[in-house]
């Protein structure tokens, strides 16, 4: 049912790819405190679990309508991954709930200029995903 439409399946796979990229970014840069705990199998299982929990919540909210649930899952995982990678680039950890409360300061021109000046090639992953899909 989920993979009956090619775009639905692609959006779910891209949602998982976003989260895999986010975890791989932290592992590759050594930002994880417990690198001995990192395992490709555990990471893949947790990403699949996260995506299907999100889609289950959105299916419940949308009353079983699959298309909006998958689209919202894609948007949430895209933003979740991008924000964590950019935040992790500066603070060397995943974004915490207390940092989310300080989000009003992110619109400051100084913060935006710092993000653009520290732009790395792997940020293009997100641009390529958008261009590839749409």
- pLDDT, position 38: 65
Rg of the chain over all Cα atoms, to the nearest angstrom: 16
- What pLDDT is recorded for position 110? 67
pTM over 0.85: no
DSSP assignments along 39-107, one per residue: -HHHHHHHHHHHHHHHHHHHHHHTTT-HHHHHHHHHHHHHHHHHHHHHHHHHHSSPPPHHHHTTGGGGG
How confident is the model at residue 132, as a pLDDT? Answer: 61
| Spatial distance between the Cα atoms of 127 and 125, rounded to a whole number of angstroms | 6
- What's the pLDDT score for residue 106? 61
Instruction: Decide: residue 119, CB within 10 A, 0-12 exposed, 13-18 middle, 19+ buried.
Output: exposed
pLDDT in tens, the chain (134 residues): 455 567 788 888 888 888 888 888 887 777 766 666 667 788 888 889 999 999 999 999 999 898 899 889 988 998 888 888 878 877 777 777 777 666 666 666 666 676 666 666 666 776 776 666 55
CB 73 within 8 Å of CB 11: yes
């Amino acid at each position: 049912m989920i993979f009956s439409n090619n775009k639905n399946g692609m959006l779910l796979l891209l949602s998982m790819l976003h989260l895999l990229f986010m975890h791989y970014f932290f592992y590759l840069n050594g930002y994880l405190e417990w690198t001995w705990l990192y395992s490709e199998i555990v990471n893949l299982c947790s990403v699949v679990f996260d995506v299907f929990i999100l889609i289950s919540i959105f299916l419940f909210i949308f009353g079983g309508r699959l298309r909006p649930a998958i689209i919202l899952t894609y948007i949430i995982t895209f933003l979740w991954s991008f924000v964590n990678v950019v935040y992790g680039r500066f603070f060397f950890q995943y974004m915490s709930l207390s940092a989310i409360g300080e989000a009003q300061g992110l619109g400051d021109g100084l913060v935006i200029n710092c993000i653009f000046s520290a732009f790395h090639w792997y940020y293009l992953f997100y641009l390529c995903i958008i261009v590839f899909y749409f």
